[in-house]
Structure 1
């Protein structure tokens, strides 16, 4: 197999200097599709719903499978389904699975790592081309910088409004001090709380501080094994803090990540937690 390399002379037709993304055109489902972003930072191949309809494909042909896509800032977008489409690249046909996303985009498709690895391609944004091996020789797909810059400008025109809304939402987050009214407990639970506090004080896990503005009661809950758990009621504190939802990984990814490892730890699963010591100067600022 020939070696894939990039030469300085291959930049002669590239508009330099540049920071352009790699935007190409390919034949997909027997149609020439332009504005395809090659992104090795994407874990999936994406086709936007508007482009899917423009190909003349029916929504009934796609598989209704919902997959959460997570952006770099943590936002989550649910897919509308998935579909397998033939992608032709320099005489090579490859059946490619696309995730369908219903949202506005300056691109028609995004070819991520599944397609890049599937054809053994090596993209170079510097040289504005994609190279991949075949049984005969090394094939080259040249990018279109004009389309790349057009997509970038379109994205910039669409972004300011959403960014200003995001900044406004940040300014609206003004946590108010929360001071819960002191709760009274039955003598039995008072004894449980006192024993727990003495135990934690004795090992230096907690210390006495004064929070005149943020006060929360303790909560005593009986566990299945008959023991009692003493916790803190952070209900009001949670209401005052901005939410940062982060979806848990799929179980199949968790299982796959254990393959090849001789040991698996369940240390945190049963009856306790591993605690990380905080810096002494910041301990009094932490609510728990």
Structure 2
């Protein structure tokens, strides 16, 4: 290798929490760390069924400068490393992550413990990792250097960039030598995928909408779009939601139709994502996504319905026999809790099975857990259709409080009939 082919960037990949299917982006692979870490901002976004397995610890971690940090606790996770291009090439391992209350641009850190269990061979200078699976060896390129879906090595990436920039117009004729060097040397500055576009701090730059507060809120009726546009829009929005650039909006006072602009290459463009919107203006940026499945739900003119495929998966499940299978069950139910009345209270026997395993290291699926499991299956057969509220109309909130959980439902009245808008519940732990 030539010196210019070396990568100086950290190795950043992604991993999946087994069974739940949750994908964690921005995972730092660091062979200089003796432990595996989950940062608090990532831990807080995990489902409750995973967070309740957090175990206390009195251990402290020492940094390279000798400073000590105390973890919130230890979180056991069943983790998958998967080839981006072939889901059958997967390696799986149970890891104990220290949850750290420390700000970081990463969500997770895989240290030497994880590298040993997965059999990972990492190369910082190549910007990639390799590990063996039952079906072959997997090579994953760092997402901080090349596009996440690229199956090419760093040397090829540099050569391709050089070929492209040769045909480009000079950015500044006063510095012709920077035509290639600038773009290749600072490849990490560019956004190669959606997940690279979320790190601009608000104090540096943010968009603002100078809207007269006296103006009436704008709520446009949904306009129809061609099927190919609807398909592209839903796929693009889903990617941006996963990257944290967009979020699902439930009850907006401002809503418009999206505008798609056709690019010279025939693809579509929608919006500008690198700079965040000012907090006070976010509510004014909501838009329709069209009829169809979005974020796992079926959006129709009648309302929001649960995804039948997700319901069928749970209905076809057998009673859990391991902690991993209980976590899989609660993870799948998490996607349906907005349709379920008293979801947390109904899942208490599941949570108690997980806590019992943490205390005694012995898994027990009790008769109460089995009864709750069968009751949950029956409830999934009659899930309600959720109703969207109308601006200016009265909403009703009903609250139920028990010893170990509480629940609530937001209700909208249509033609003297009360329809659910959203169910919320929480276990009191």
- TM-score category, normalised to shorter length: 0.3 to 0.5
Larger Rg: 1
The TM-score with structure 2 as length reference comes to 0.31
- Return the TM-score normalized by structure 1: 0.45
Q: Which has the higher contact order (CA 8 A, sep 6+)?
A: 1
